[in-house]
Amino acid sequence: MREVLLAQQENDEDRILNLSLRPERLTDFVGQPELAENLTVAIRAAQKRAEPLEHLLLSGPQGLGKTTLAHIIANEMGTKFTATSGPAIERAGDLIGILTNLGEGDVLFIDEIHRLSKVVEEFLYPAMEQFQIDFVIDKGPYAKTIKFNLKRFTLIGATTRSGFLTAPLRARFGLAYHLNFYELADLVRILQRSAGLLSVRLDAAGAQEIARRSRGTPRVANRLLRRVRDYAEVKHDGAVTAEVASAALDAQGIDRLGLDPVDRRVLKVILDQYAGGPVGIEALAATLNEEPDTLVDVVEPYLLKAGLLRRTPRGREASRQAAEHLGLAPKTLL
């Protein structure tokens, strides 16, 4: 649902621009101050010892900068960056070529690492601990084990659902950090930096208006900035003020809390069809004709953070604030 909407909104030019807006150094990274400080210390210590950085696990909702931080770490360490994802590695053999081509200190980034298959995950353990892999060829009495020695590398895993990681895999990461939603002031700084790179005339009030509707997420903020830029260039003189930003985002269906049509539909279904809840995620997904994982990974995090939704042992419940925001009569609500 949301993936289709975002795919329609982001063309190839937007994706290239999104890459160009990524900071390349920790000093340019805005937000997550404690994480950035801890990473700076870890990187400097590793460089001082002439060692690769310890394996690192980054968790948190989508769009908060996990991939950006992985790129920054590779840049700071002066090593090569290789990226893949959990679903893309179907067999252990798929991982061999990647691992054997890594140089000393190189960064291997695995997005959605919680979706690795059990076989691949167990194959990864000795690679992370001993920088070796054992590959079995042939079968039965002719089976042979070939041992590959790997260069010392840094594995950076990213996940939106850290609870799905197995304990043995989690234990093999020396560093683990969780990324939180961004404060309004940090989003304003990100928007001002991006506006400078995109040559957008963005005033302070316009940046505040876009930041308020950005769901606490830099990726969303940059996407909305591009949409507002287009609106300002066509409907106005190109300058982005609070009034222009508000009109542009209203036209995109992004309301004052940053909710889009998908968010409002989820809340409306809970309020109208389930009297505010509780409702199980499977029943909610079936009503919306959507996958449960999409609701859990993409829709729910911000609704929970904004206080519009609550998870309980009995299911999801909409809050009184959600009813008031949508202009619906509250029923049995929190």
Question: CA–CA distance from 263 to each of 8, 36, 267, 311 (Å)?
Answer: 17, 31, 6, 16
For residue 274, give the nearest of 262, 286, 261 by alpha carbon. Answer: 286
- Asked about 67 being catalytic, the answer comes back as yes
Task: Considering the candidates 215, 219, 226, 316, report the single residue annotated as catalytic.
Answer: 219
Bridge-partner residues for 175, per DSSP?
Answer: 56
For residue 262, give the nearest of 305, 238, 291, 237 by alpha carbon. Answer: 291
Determine the Cα–Cα distance for residues 81 and 71; give it in Å rounded to an integer: 7
Counting other chains too, the contacts that 116-122 makes at CB distance below 8 Å and 24 or more residues apart are 116/86, 116/89, 116/169, 117/89, 117/90, 117/91, 119/91, 119/92, 120/89, 120/90, 120/91, 120/92, 120/94, 120/95, 121/166, 121/168, 121/169
- Asked about 219 being catalytic, the answer comes back as yes
Helix %, strand %, coil % of the chain (to 5): 55, 15, 30
Task: Considering the candidates 115, 160, 223, 227, report the single residue annotated as catalytic.
Answer: 160
- Asked about 66 being catalytic, the answer comes back as yes
- Asked about 213 being catalytic, the answer comes back as no
Determine the Cα–Cα distance for residues 288 and 108; give it in Å rounded to an integer: 37
- Asked about 40 being catalytic, the answer comes back as no
Radius of gyration of the chain (CA): 23
Q: Just list the catalytic residues.
A: 66-67, 111, 160, 219
